[in-house]
Structure 1
């Protein structure tokens, strides 16, 4: 038994994340150290371990919810958390591969209050670093020696394909005047839900879970991921800039076709029709336009609908979690993580 498998009862979600991070970080750093120096420098900067010159710092590395889901998924089916560290590392590497590429595609200037990797090192090096992290993730699983490593590689690869399909759809929506709500939901299921589902499934696989447990925990993670996206899209419009790190109405300023926006645009209401004209006007949106757009989304019923869908998805996730028959403690802590991920003030 390792320190990762010894912990106090009745932990909060934040305490679970701290526990997971303490176990994850040494293994994650050891994996990144295997990269070529050119890729390692960018990866370590992106993870917040050092500055652009390689000098150690302690920047925000994010919550790391996905690896925590892996470790708890393992415990849920009776496995030991330390045995699932390769899967947790692989999921975190994969998530950060997607972030490196997302920042380039979206032109994001900052992440976690620091300049994004592409701004510091250049677009092409950042893309290559993302590629390196994804390749390393698969290598970590392959080298784990776990009897279900091959199956786990296929689970992760499938999730990445769905993630890429979702990201492709998201980019395509920017060029289209009309997007159906069902398309938008499918995009979010792939872009956000797939990897959270894979994290839970990998945890169950590394813990020796039954087929039904693996599938129920995958469904739990997928629904938490989609609920998270609904909440995140609401925060992209109405979130507190001090909390979100984004300007107020930031998604509207970028004319992003997020879930509440598409729900409003397709609502066939007077508010939805006015929003359509405003959103597709050629001139830039003024601060007054942005405030009006937010009002129209609310008037169309899309804000309430999005909040309701997030609640429904969280309830469905909890049903799948119970159906997996997890240990009492793991169920409580997975539920706590789900609640944290879908909070409306994060």
Structure 2
């Protein structure tokens, strides 16, 4: 369970001076996390049965549909980078948390494979989605295989007196992600969704796994329970802010940068946070938006108009402001964990990039 901000004093991240320490940029952190994690990730995927291995390798951007090597976009690696930095933040070497980094990356990609099936998306990371190339059944099975493999990586990783602790941290996060995804799907069938329940959905769907990444990294780094909880809370709040940004990009993002079709969330009638925040207002734009969302189909002009209505009703501004508030809360929990200064600076830089990214 995460530390409740109301029950313990947290430093004010807006007023706390940031120490001047040499550190890598966020993009350097992500690139070097890939260098450390990818060999172990590939080695884990290589243990899968050939049918699932082939599809997984395609999804990760390592091979084309025929199994020939390619260098496609493999994702941002934010979750494994958080696990590695959390270990470093409590005084350990990043490599100590390698099993955690690989496990959360496997779980994340399990969710992506299944999300693409459930949403019917045809594009992921500028390529056809795995299910659209290999079929629905194989994509679902490959996702299941990645989830199973994540727990196998933790079981085999060593470095802890009791691997059951980290297995339960991961399983709790997976259940929260699945609960959040179930709520997301249910929202699509409902005309009205409250903002509070939409926030809870996003906390599970995205916040739980980022909190899991930082908690696992702290566990592998040998942190005390209090430091683990603060780093988990840092990741959870960052995760929710990350989802808020993702929802903005799902409406206003440039397809060239995001790798997803323009207005894809609106076309799928997603009750994303900007949409629900806009609909929660008593404005003419909100009333018109509700009417658009009840239509059976939306034309290209309707999608453009829906995006404008969300903006005019205040959904875009609320989402941006809430993401910034969560970033401030995340920084406060990071400071409360008394992190190593260099790792703290890099976690802060990574959080800033995650929340203010364009893809």
TM-score, normalised by the number of residues in structure 1: 0.95
- TM-superposition CA deviations, 1:297-319 (whole Å, max 9, x none): 12222211111100000000000
- Per the TM alignment, residue 329 of structure 1 is displaced from its structure 2 partner at its CA by 0.3
Equivalent residue number for residue 52 of structure 2: 39
Residue 207 of structure 2 contacts residue 238 of structure 2 at CA under 8 Å; is this kept in 1?
yes
Residue 235 of structure 1 contacts residue 344 of structure 1 at CA under 8 Å; is this kept in 2?
no
Residue 24 of structure 1 contacts residue 85 of structure 1 at CA under 8 Å; is this kept in 2?
yes
Equivalent residue number for residue 123 of structure 2: 110
Equivalent residue number for residue 256 of structure 2: 242
- Per the TM alignment, residue 114 of structure 1 is displaced from its structure 2 partner at its CA by 1.3
RMSD: 1.4
**Aligned 1:196-275 pairs, distance under 5 A:** 196-275=210-289
- Per the TM alignment, residue 292 of structure 1 is displaced from its structure 2 partner at its CA by 2.3
Q: Give the whole-Å Cα distance in 1 for the aligned partners of 2:152 and 2:336.
A: 32
Q: Give the whole-Å Cα distance in 1 for the aligned partners of 2:315 and 2:205.
A: 21
- TM-superposition CA deviations, 1:13-42 (whole Å, max 9, x none): 111111111010111111111111121111
Q: Give the whole-Å Cα distance in 1 for the aligned partners of 2:42 and 2:308.
A: 46
Secondary structure of 1:143's aligned partner: helix
Distance of aligned partners of 1:185 and 1:330 in 2 relative to their CA distance in 1, 3 Å threshold: same
**Aligned 1:1-346 pairs, distance under 5 A:** 9-145=22-158, 146-282=160-296, 284-346=297-359
Show structure 1 runs of 4+ deviating over 4 A.
none
TM-score, normalised by the number of residues in structure 2: 0.91
Secondary structure of 1:49's aligned partner: coil
Q: How many pairs does the alignment contain?
A: 338
Distance of aligned partners of 1:137 and 1:247 in 2 relative to their CA distance in 1, 3 Å threshold: closer
Q: Give the whole-Å Cα distance in 1 for the aligned partners of 2:258 and 2:112.
A: 16
Q: Which has the higher contact order (CA 8 A, sep 6+)?
A: 2
Residue 123 of structure 2 contacts residue 259 of structure 2 at CA under 8 Å; is this kept in 1?
no
Equivalent residue number for residue 3 of structure 1: none
Residue 148 of structure 1 contacts residue 206 of structure 1 at CA under 8 Å; is this kept in 2?
no
Secondary structure of 1:275's aligned partner: helix
Secondary structure of 2:157's aligned partner: coil
- Per the TM alignment, residue 248 of structure 1 is displaced from its structure 2 partner at its CA by 3.3
